[in-house]
Amino acid sequence: MSKFTLSLLDPNTLLPHRAGIAGLALALSVLDQQKAPLTWDVTEDTITLAWEGTDCDAVQWLLHQTYQMQDGYLDVPALKLDQQARYTFTEGVTATLLQHSKQRTRDKETKSLNFTIEDGQPEIKLEFRPVLDCYYTRDVSDAFNTKGVFKPAIALKGHHLPGLVECFVNGAYQESPTGFLALLFLPLACGYYKLPDRRSALVLPEVSNLLEWVVQRQEASGRVFQRLKPPYADFRASGAGESALRFLLREKVTADAKPMQIRYCEVYQLGGQPWDGNQSYLKQSVYRVQVKDEILELYDIAEQLFPAKVRVTDKGESWLAISKVLPWISENLVTGKRWYIGFYEFRKRYGMYERQGLVKMTNHLTEDEQILFDAVQGAFSAYLRGQFLQAQKQGRPLDYGQVTDKVIYRLQRPSTQQEFATALVNFLSRFRSKAARSAGAQIYAWIHREGNWRQARDLVLLAIATYTSKKGDALDGTEVPIESNPEAESVESETFEMSL
């Protein structure tokens, strides 16, 4: 009789192994033990497996019950996937764990797929090559000897975990039978995301309680929670940081009022590497993201303000447009920075951005940030008023984009703390506002605290770029464009004094 114990508490297990143990617990939860050639017991942190026959027969039975091929998709009954979810799961697994052509076989012919992302919006049209078979649906005989018994050391390749072995000079990584068994069920616990520029993200959760995690995953099946996106929209992410936050947010939503069983996750960003031109999804970087409620709440807000939208080309081809703002905010959140950090660089890189969503994001500033933000917006309002009156006298309409660029240029041009402090104080003193009264000490701390002036510059530029009057816009009741002319920075040379 063979008996194996897989434990979350085993010091020899890594995060992929613990995630694989969770996947195995989920797979076992939908099987009838009375009809199985093996027995099992699942506790909060341990799975015990036992069988009378050969190791090979027992493992193959588990694999065939867990992984199946259906209509060209890799299907896992324990996950209870609909058509969209089967597509995203199949594409996710084949772009990460099964990326090499030797690990899966696709049909030569493609078939068309249409998915609805949002009611009333055009459908997404895709071309998909059905999967005929893959590593998980085949016989894994290389893990056993001729008698069907586990080898003491099993050679692993990239299909068990992308980037597991960076250099093959010393041969393949050798795994124990229990470690190998856990990794076979890793796909059930992971999150899969398609990133821009032919990249993918594989998210591995940290599971601390098998029983509660399985219940939460079962409750999430079928997308019964309204806050969960359709699978294809959820599959498309803007970056590795957003992938982690989206995965953790989904776990938090499905956990409902129960304590979250995932404290952190790891994200494997996969893409091209110059040293291997044969595979497109090699490991580029690994991120570990901790669960913090305030971070997930901010991401939840940002995700709703900057959603992906279905666009249609002149030829009638539909595609999902991803926000440019959301990846920037997400990367700040996963690195523990304030969400607006780097707005200076972001604005210089992108001439256009979703201004209305950014305006609403400014409602989530700290009290200290709000003081500087309000002071700058009050000064900018006074500046606009002067420019508007000057334009009236000259009998011309006010070019809002031009006058806004003047202020932004003058405040983003300084490259040192002293230069920025001089420019900001000059601006606030020339265009006084009620919000700046009694705020001198706080503003002084912002611009003179060591290493703080760049953050102050980001906040100041954000305040100007998101300025909205009490009428709901910047001027006279009509919506005005805030996106600035990217050429303005190179030709603008006037000072504040000269522009009056």
- Say what percent of the chain tops pLDDT 70: 85
Q: Who has greater pLDDT, 159 or 384?
A: 384
193-231 burial, b if ≥16 CB within 10 A, otherwise e?
A: bbbeeebbbbbbbbbbbbebbbbbbbebeebeeeebbbb
**pLDDT tens digits, residue range 235-290?**
989 888 899 999 988 887 665 545 555 778 999 888 877 766 666 677 788 888 88
**pLDDT value at position 392?**
86
Q: For 154-174, what is the mean pLDDT?
A: 68
State both tokens at 44: 């909060």
225 pLDDT above the threshold of 60? no
**What pLDDT shows up at residue 226?**
43
**Confidence band for 163, pLDDT divided at 50, 70 and 90:** low
pLDDT at 105: 93
Determine contact, residues 358/343, Cβ cutoff 8 Å.
no
Which has more confidence, 162 or 168?
A: 162
pLDDT tens, residue by residue, 196-205: 888 899 999 9
Q: What pLDDT, on a 0 to 100 scale, did the predictor assign at position 201? A: 92
Handedness of CA 448, 454, 459, 463 (dihedral sign): positive
Stretch 169-174: mean pLDDT: 72
Residues 137-147 have a mean pLDDT of 91
More confident residue, 39 or 275: 39
Where residue 347 falls among pLDDT bands split at 50, 70, 90? confident
Q: Report the pLDDT averaged over residues 420-441.
A: 82
pLDDT at 476 over 90: no
Q: What average pLDDT is seen over the chain?
A: 83
Higher pLDDT, 16 or 348: 16
pLDDT at 146 over 70: yes
Neighbours of 250 (CB within 10 A): 18
Mean pLDDT of 352-380: 88
Is the pLDDT at 210 greater than 70, yes or no?
yes
How deeply is 389 buried, as exposed, middle or buried, from its count of CB atoms within 10 A (0-12, 13-18, 19+)? exposed
pLDDT of residue 318: 81
pLDDT on residue 481: 34
- Residue reference for tokens 């009050």: 378
pLDDT in tens, 437-454: 777 778 888 877 767 889
More confident residue, 384 or 483: 384
Q: What is the average per-residue pLDDT within 70-83?
A: 92
pLDDT at 496: 35
pLDDT band at 477 (very low <50, low <70, confident <90, very high): very low
